[in-house]
């Protein structure tokens, strides 16, 4: 099902064939000149003459091989052009002819889905016919002629919708027929000639060409992987930038739309365009996935699917790196006030008392170990910490991963550092008591 895009400029192929004909004619002229030289050499003798005869024979052999290769490539190219244009004729040979089976197929499926969806939606909007029993009820306010007229109108609407549905379905069926009879054979024929070209290339590649290809392959792989990763990283960065621009643009457009509606002004195209795009996506969210798949398919067609794999890897790694950077920025120096190390465990919070009660839970055996651990907890906060500052200026910090809790008082000094017995429950209690509402 999944096929690559085919992009062909037949005028360029025609130019290549013309150049090959010129080259072939030049080879024939060289061959004719060599044969004339042969008649002259027959009248002479000697070692130099024999060497010239040998070189002449070798040259004729090389010319013959070149002619054979040109003939085979020309036949292959002529066959490709003849068969491909026999299936799908280009409108203009000087313009790029592009055929994408995947894109065409998804578009046809979207047409089918749209026809079915709008038909169901339209039929549901047609009012139900009034109950005929009410016509003969003297208390009913319905007029017989009005009801009959409405029934005829509704039947006409239903008939028109059914006729339109059949017409659109017929057109979609015709597109499917074109897809099956033209697009699929076109791409299959391209695959056939792609295989023939590879076989021909392998046959004409000499020993040193194979060695060169083998030696350059690792460097090409490294280059492709590096550029693919950078391409993926750029996609993420540029995508985020365009997302921000899009949000701003859409917000401005939305406000402008409301203003236009309030004052009954004409809505400019630049206002309706982003809103129409959002409406289309909301109606068919698959458009986003189709767009992504199409973009990946295009990159794979042009750059190769190994390049595509590295590009996707670059996107994943960059997204992960940005996510980690955001987490890091959130956790950088969780305490935003001014630290005062001289105020650590003073003003009623004695180091000896706290170290004795809480130090063993960390594995500390001395007051200095406990003090260093407390300062490290605040100076280099772990990833994923939670924190808040009370209205009185006291800073609370908690690491759920290690169940570590600490406080910096309003003077910038550490007042406690411990592992709460009740874990996260203790932290939630502190939040309930001291976190600003």
348 with 313, same domain: the answer is no
Shared-domain flag, residues 234 and 270: yes
Same domain, 257 and 294: yes
Query: Could you tell me if residue 159 is inside a domain?
Result: no
pLDDT at residue 427 in the model: 95
Q: Is 193 exposed, middle or buried (0-12, 13-18, 19+ CB in 10 A)?
A: middle
Residues 271 and 308 placed together within one structural domain of the fold = yes
The answer to the question of residue 121 being in a domain is no
Asked if residue 360 and residue 288 are part of one domain, the reply reads no
- Say what the pLDDT of residue 124 is: 59
184: in domain: no
The span from the CA of 183 to the CA of 103, in Å, is 11
Specify whether 27 is located in the same domain as 94. Answer: yes
Contact in structure between 414 and 345 (CB atoms under 8 Å): yes
Same structural domain for residues 401 and 295?
no
Residue 119 maps to a domain: no
- Here the CATH number for the domain that contains residue 368 is 3.10.450
- For residue 373, give every residue at least 6 positions away whose Cβ sits within 8 Å of its Cβ, in sequence order, or none: 362, 364, 417
Terminal Cα distance for the chain, rounded: 58
Does any domain span residue 167? no
pTM for this model (two decimals): 0.51
Helix (H) or strand (E) holding 226, with range, is helix 207-262
d(C-alpha 76, C-alpha 197), whole Å: 8
In a domain, 253, yes or no: yes
pLDDT in tens, the chain (437 residues): 455 678 888 999 999 999 999 999 999 999 888 877 777 767 667 777 778 778 888 888 889 989 999 999 999 999 999 999 998 888 888 888 877 776 677 777 777 776 676 656 555 555 555 545 444 554 455 556 666 666 677 777 777 778 888 888 888 888 888 888 888 888 889 889 988 988 888 887 777 777 877 788 888 889 989 999 999 999 999 999 998 998 899 899 889 989 988 888 888 888 888 887 787 777 777 767 777 877 887 788 778 888 999 999 999 999 988 887 776 665 554 677 788 999 899 865 689 999 999 999 999 999 999 999 999 999 888 888 899 999 989 999 999 999 999 999 988 999 999 999 999 999 999 999 999 87
Contacts 24+ apart (CB under 8 A), 232-235: 232/310, 232/311, 232/312, 232/313, 232/314, 232/315, 232/316, 232/317, 232/318, 233/314, 233/315, 233/317, 233/318, 235/311, 235/314, 235/315
- pLDDT score of 330: 57
- Number of domains making up the chain: 3
> How many other β-carbons are positioned within 10 Å of the β-carbon of residue 14?
14
pLDDT at 418: 95
Which residues form the domain of 34? 6-98
**In this structure, is residue 424 part of a structural domain?**
yes
């Amino acid at each position: 099902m999944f096929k690559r895009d085919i992009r062909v400029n037949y005028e360029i192929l025609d130019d290549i064939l013309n150049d090959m004909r010129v080259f072939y004619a030049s080879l024939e002229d060289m061959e004719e000149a060599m044969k004339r030289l042969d008649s002259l050499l027959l009248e002479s003798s000697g070692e130099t003459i024999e060497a010239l005869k040998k070189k002449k024979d070798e040259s004729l052999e090389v010319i013959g091989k070149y002619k054979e290769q040109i003939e085979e490539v020309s036949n292959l190219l002529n066959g490709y052009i003849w068969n491909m244009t026999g299936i799908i004729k280009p409108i203009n040979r000087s313009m790029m002819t592009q055929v994408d089976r995947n894109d065409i197929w998804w578009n046809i499926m979207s047409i089918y889905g749209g026809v079915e969806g709008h038909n169901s939606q339209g039929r549901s909007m047609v009012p139900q016919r009034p109950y005929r029993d009410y016509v003969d009820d003297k208390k009913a306010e319905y007029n017989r002629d009005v009801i009959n007229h409405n029934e005829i109108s509704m039947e006409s609407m239903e008939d028109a919708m059914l006729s339109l549905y059949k017409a659109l379905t017929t057109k979609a069926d015709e597109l499917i027929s074109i897809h099956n009879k033209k697009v699929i054979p076109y791409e299959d024929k391209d695959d056939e000639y792609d295989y023939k070209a590879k076989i021909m290339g392998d046959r004409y590649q000499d020993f040193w060409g194979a060695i060169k290809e083998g030696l350059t392959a690792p460097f090409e792989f490294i280059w492709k992987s590096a550029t693919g990763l950078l391409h993926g990283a750029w996609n993420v960065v540029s995508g985020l930038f365009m997302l921000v621009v899009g949000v701003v643009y859409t917000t401005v457009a939305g406000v402008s739309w409301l203003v236009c509606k309030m004052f009954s002004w004409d809505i400019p195209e630049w206002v309706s365009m982003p809103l129409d795009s959002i409406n289309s996506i909301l109606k068919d969210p698959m458009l986003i996935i189709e767009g992504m798949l199409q973009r990946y398919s295009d990159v794979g067609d042009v750059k190769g699917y190994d390049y595509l794999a590295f590009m996707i890897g670059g996107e994943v790694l960059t997204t992960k790196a940005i996510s980690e950077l955001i987490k890091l920025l959130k956790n950088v120096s969780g305490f935003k006030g001014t630290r005062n190390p001289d105020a650590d465990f003073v003003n009623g919070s004695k180091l000896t008392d706290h170290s004795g009660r809480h130090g063993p839970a960390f594995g500390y055996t001395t007051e200095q170990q406990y003090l260093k651990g407390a300062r490290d907890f605040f100076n280099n906060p772990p990833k994923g910490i939670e924190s808040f500052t009370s209205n009185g200026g006291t800073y609370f910090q908690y690491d759920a991963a290690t169940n570590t809790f600490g406080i910096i008082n309003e003077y910038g000094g550490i007042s406690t550092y411990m592992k709460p017995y009740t874990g996260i429950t203790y932290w939630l209690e502190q939040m309930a008591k001291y976190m600003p509402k």
